[in-house]
Amino acid sequence: ESLYPTDPLEPDELKSLGKKTAVWTVLVALIIALMLLFNMFTIMNIINLLTIFAVCIPVYYFVKILASNKIDKVERSRVLAYIPLFIASVLFWSIEEQGSVVLALFANEQTRLSLFGFNFPSSWFQSMNPLFIMLYVPFFAKLW
């Protein structure tokens, strides 16, 4: 029962989805072509374009879900409760993914790289998190 959607797309909805996908694909290709034509195809402009998509697409889907007449009041309240969790998740992973670069710079410039006469490279700091995860897994598995 749970393997199949409770409200599958009708053939006309599926056809409409195909058309919308084609339109968006052409639109993105057109934006990229214009960027190339006007010599604006730079890494910063690509990042800006991806950022715009990354913000607009979730907002669009949340509005679409909340405005839908297919969901009831309880489901709508659950979607509303999910929005702060979604935002928190985005913020967490945005910070988490920058950790490796920030840690490498900090380790290289701000730490003492010798301990009891043993010198080690700053790149070893990148291995600390996985090392401690492996060391603590048995302990937390036992607690579980």
Query: pLDDT exceeding 90 applies to what percent of the chain?
Result: 67
Q: Are 125 and 107 in contact (CB under 8 A)?
A: yes
Q: Please indicate whether residue 15 or residue 3 has the higher confidence score (pLDDT).
A: 15
Does the pLDDT value for residue 1 go beyond 60? no
Domain borders along the chain are 1-41, 72-144
Q: How far apart are CA 41 and CA 17, in angstroms?
A: 29
Query: Which alpha helices (H) appear in 38-127, and where do they start and end?
Result: 43-67, 73-110
Which 8-state DSSP code applies to residue 41?
A: -
Angle at 71 between CA 66 and CA 73, to 5 degrees: 85
pLDDT digit string (tens) for 67-112?
Answer: 999 899 999 999 999 999 999 999 999 888 887 788 788 888 888 8
pLDDT digit string (tens) for 22-35?
Answer: 999 999 999 999 99
Angle at 32 between CA 31 and CA 36, to 5 degrees: 120
